[in-house]
Chains A and B, each alone.
Chain A
Amino acid sequence: MREGISYTGIPTERELKDCAGIPDEGRMARGPVACIECVQCIPCNPCESACPVGAITIGDKISKAPVLNAELCIGCGSCIAQCPGLAITVIDKTYSDTLTSLSFPYEYLPLPKAGDAVDAVGRDGNTVCGAKVVSVSDRPENHGTVVVTIAFDKAYSGRVKSIKRLPGREL
Chain B
Amino acid sequence: MKTYEKEIVIIGSGPAGLCAAIEARKAGCQVLVVDENRRAGGQLFKQIHKFFGSGKHHAGMRGFDIAREIYAEADALGVEFWLECVAYGIFNDGIGLVKNGKCCLVKARRIIVATGGSEDPVAFPGSTLPGIITAGAAQTMANVERVLPGRRIAILGSGNVGLIVAYQLMQAGAEVCAVIERAEKIGGYGVHAAKIRRAGVPIMTRSTVIRARGTDCLEEIVIAQLDDNGKPIEGSEKTLMADTLCIAAGMTPMSELLWQAGVKFDYIPELGGFVPLHDGSMKTTIDELYVAGDVTGIEEAPIAMEEGRLAGISVAVAEGRLAAADGEKLRVEALERISALECDGRKAAKHRQLSEMQLCCGKER
Contact = CB atoms under 8 A, between A and B. Distances in A.
Given A61-B340, A82-B60, A125-B197, A38 B191 contact: yes
Given A62-B53, A125-B197, A125-B199, A9 B60 contact: no
Interface in A131-163: 143-145, 161-162
Contacts of B190: 5-6, 9, 11, 39-40
Contacts of B173: 109, 168-169, 171
B21 interface: no
Interface in B198-212: 198-201, 203, 205
Nearest to B188: A9
B171 interface: yes
B340 A63 contact: yes
B195 A85 contact: yes
A163 B190 CA distance: 19
Nearest to A4: B190
A107 B168 CA distance: 10
A5 B151 contact: no
B55 interface: yes
Contacts of A116: none
B199 A49 contact: no
Interface in B65-80: 65
Given A9-B193, A63-B343, A84-B59, A123 B198 contact: yes
Nearest to A8: B203
B174 to A, nearest CB: 8
Nearest to A126: B200
B170 A165 contact: yes
Residue among B60, B171, B189, B190 with most chain A CB within 10 A: B190
A7 B196 CA distance: 14
Contact of B197 (A2, A124, A144): A124
A143 B191 contact: no
Nearest to A108: B171
Interface residues of A, number: 46
B52 interface: yes
Contacts of B82: none
A43 B191 contact: no
A123 B202 CA distance: 11
B186 A43 contact: no
A87 B50 CA distance: 12
Contacts of A107: 171
A145 B50 contact: yes
A104 to B, nearest CB: 9
Given A42-B191, A165-B199, A143 B65 contact: yes
A62 B184 contact: no
A5 B198 contact: no
A56 interface: no
A44 B61 CA distance: 12
A144 B62 contact: yes
Given A82-B60, A85-B191, A108-B170, A43 B198 contact: no
Contacts of A145: 50
Given A38-B191, A40-B191, A123-B194, A49 B340 contact: no
Interface string B143-159: 00000100100000000
A5 B188 CA distance: 11
Nearest to A46: B60
Contacts of B341: 43, 62-63
B185 interface: yes
Contacts of A143: 50, 60-62, 65
5 contacts: A1-B205, A44-B59, A62-B341, A123-B194, A165-B170
Question: Which 7 A-B residue pairs are closest in the complex by CB-CB distance?
Answer: A125-B200, A85-B191, A9-B193, A84-B50, A44-B52, A5-B190, A9-B197
Given A8-B197, A43-B343, A62-B340, 16 more contacts: A8-B186, A8-B205, A11-B190, A11-B194, A42-B52, A42-B191, A46-B54, A84-B50, A84-B52, A85-B192, A107-B171, A108-B170, A108-B171, A123-B198, A124-B198, A168-B173
